[in-house]
Amino acid sequence: MVNQKRSDDQLTLAQLRKRAGLTQRKLADIVDVTIKTVSAWERGEHEPYLTLTQTKRLLDGLQCSLEELLVAIERQTQTGEDEPRLTLTQTKRLTEILQCSLDDLVAAMENHPPQE
């Protein structure tokens, strides 16, 4: 639930942003997205869908680790989806990097779902 209390080590995205002293506008500028997009992330409507460069800028701007950001996003995302969404090109590149087939990748995801 979006409004439930969290311990200090489990901040929401909005809390991470405020801790870093950023407005939604400034964070949007850093990551090169719209304020509307940042607002949607903070409301838990969807996860950030970013390039690696944008992800690095987001982490640098928020002054947090990828793990801390993932926890913040997981806690407020309402879609309930555990699988990453990738473009076809990204999927092809991932299978090449991991040197596996798409079937192997899907099987690995099914056999090792993300831990809560």
Express each pLDDT in 33-74 by its tens digit.
999 999 999 988 888 889 889 999 999 999 999 989 988 887
CA–CA dist 48, 50 (Å, integer): 6
Residue type for position 39 = S
CA–CA dist 104, 91 (Å, integer): 12
Quote the pLDDT of residue 114. 60
**pLDDT > 90 in the chain, percent:** 38
The residue assigned the tokens 């995801």 is 109
Q: Assign 6 a pLDDT band (cuts: 50, 70, 90).
A: very low
CATH architecture, domain 13-76 = Orthogonal Bundle (1.10)
Q: Is the pLDDT of residue 8 over 90?
A: no
CA–CA dist 78, 46 (Å, integer): 7
Measured in Å, how far apart are the chain's first and last C-alpha atoms? 14
Quote the pLDDT of residue 109. 78
Q: Is the dihedral of CA 35, 41, 47, 48 positive or negative?
A: positive
Q: Is the pLDDT of residue 100 over 80?
A: yes
Q: Is the pLDDT of residue 2 over 80?
A: no
Domain boundaries, the chain: 13-76, 82-116
Of residues 78 and 94, more confidence is placed in 94
Contact between residue 17 and residue 62 where contact means Cβ atoms under 8 Å apart: yes
